Amino acid sequence: MLSSKVLRYAAAMGDPLSPVMERLVLFIVIATFLTALLFFALTLYKGIKHLREDRKKAKFQAALENVLFHYLFEEKSLEEVLGDPIFRAMKRDVLFQRVAIKAIISLHDNYSGIYSKKLEQFFEVSGLVNYSIARLESSKWPFIVEGVRDLSTLNHDASYSRIASRITHPHELVKMEVLLALIKMRGIGEITKFQKTGLLLNDWVQSNILYTVKKHKIAAPANLGIMLSSPNKTVVLLGVRLIRYYQVAEHDETLSGLISETADAKLKREISEVLAKNTLVN
C-alpha cells in the first residue's frame, strides 16, 4: 500500500512524518478502504437485483404461459383470458410487458396459420402493442429497433406508417431494421420505393434482406426488374441477387445489356453468375 511505502521512505530518511504527511497517509488509507467497500456494495446490490429480476421474470413467464395455453389450445375467448385478475395485475408492470412480448414472438416464430393470427390478436387487444409503439417513438435508437422488430414480427399493420417514417433516422441499424420490417410487412416491392434515393444497401444490409426473404418465404414481386434500372447501384446489385434467388430467367436480356454497360467489376461478376446459372437451369 502507498501508506506503508511512505512510512518506509520516511524511516529510511531518518525523519519523522510531519502532521501534514500523516493526515495525507490517513486520508489515502480511508479513501482506499471506502472505495473497496463501495465497489463490494455495488457488486452485491447488482447481484441481488439481477436475482430478483430473474425470479420475477420466471413468475411472469409461468403466468403468461398459463394464459396463452388457455387461449390457444383450450378454446377460451380472448375476453376470458384477458379478464384473468392475475394477468390484469401483472400487465401494468413494464418488465412483464417486455417478457410477454418476447414470449409471444417466440411462439409466433414456431406456429403458423390460426395460432400465429391468434397471437397477433392477443398482442394488439391485450394492449401489449402500446409498449412496442412507445419503444418505436423513443429518442433512443436501441428502443426504436426493439419497437420496429416487435411490431413488424407480429404484423401490426396499423403501425406501418410509423415504422416507415423511421427510415430517415441517422443510425444505420435503425434504417436497416426499418427496411427489413417493411419487407416483412408488405413484401420485397418496398425496396423499389427507395431506388431513386441515396439509401445505400451495403453487403451487410443486403445479406439481411436476403435472409429475411428466405426466412419469411416472401414471394417475388411482379416489378422485380425495375430494380435493374435504378440510379442507385446498390439497389441494382440487390436486384441481381434477388433474381438469382428467385431463379427468374425473364430478365436475362436486361442483365446481358447491363453487364456490357456497367464498369462495376462486382456487379459484372454477379450478373455473369446469374446468367450462367439461368443457362444451366434452362
Same domain, 86 and 21: no
**Within-domain flag for 46:** no
Q: Is residue 122 part of a domain?
A: yes
191 found inside a domain: no
Give the whole-angstrom CA distance, residue 191 versus residue 210.
12
Residue with cell 467489376: 265
What pLDDT, on the 0 to 100 scale, is given for residue 4? 55
Do residues 140 and 165 share a domain?
Answer: yes
Mean pLDDT value across residues 11-23: 62
Nearest to 166 by CA among 156, 181, 155: 181
What span, in angstroms and rounded, lies between the C-alpha atoms of 34 and 81?
Answer: 52
pLDDT digits (tens, 9 = 90+) for 71-109: 888 878 888 888 888 888 888 899 999 999 999 999 999
Number of separate domains in the chain: 4
Q: Does residue 248 share a domain with residue 213?
A: yes
Q: Cell for 112?
A: 403458423
User: Among 186, 209, 224, where does a domain finish?
Assistant: 186
d(CA 132, CA 101): 9
Query: For residue 24, what are the domain limits?
Result: 1-37
What pLDDT was estimated at residue 58? 83
Distance CA 135, CA 224 (A): 33
Q: Whole-model pTM?
A: 0.78
Q: Do residues 170 and 207 both lie within one domain?
A: no
N residues, the chain = 282
pLDDT of residue 279: 67
DSSP E strand stretches across the chain: none
% of the chain residues with pLDDT over 70: 92
Answer yes or no: do 205 and 277 share one domain. yes
In a domain, 13, yes or no: yes
Tell me the C-alpha distance between 228 and 258, whole Å: 8
Does one domain contain both 221 and 249? yes
pLDDT in tens, 245-268: 998 888 888 989 998 888 888 999
Between 220 and 51, the higher pLDDT residue: 220
Q: What's residue 195's pLDDT?
A: 78
In a domain, 47, yes or no: no
pLDDT confidence of residue 164: 95
Q: Give the Cα separation of 104 and 96 in Å (integer).
A: 12
Task: Give residue for cell 418476447.
Answer: 102
What pLDDT was estimated at residue 32? 85
Confidence grade of residue 218 (pLDDT, cut at 50, 70, 90): very high
245 vs 31, more confident: 245
What is the predicted pLDDT for the residue at 249? 85
Residue 172 domain flag: yes
Long-range pairs for 191-198: beta carbons < 8 A, 24 or more residues apart: 191/227, 191/235, 191/238, 192/221, 192/223, 192/226, 192/227, 194/167, 194/232, 194/235, 195/226, 195/227, 195/230, 195/231, 195/232, 195/235, 196/230, 196/231, 196/232, 197/232, 198/232
Instruction: Check pLDDT > 60 for residue 110.
Output: yes
- The model's confidence at residue 115, banded by pLDDT at 50, 70 and 90, is very high
- Whether 210 and 279 map to the same domain: the answer is yes
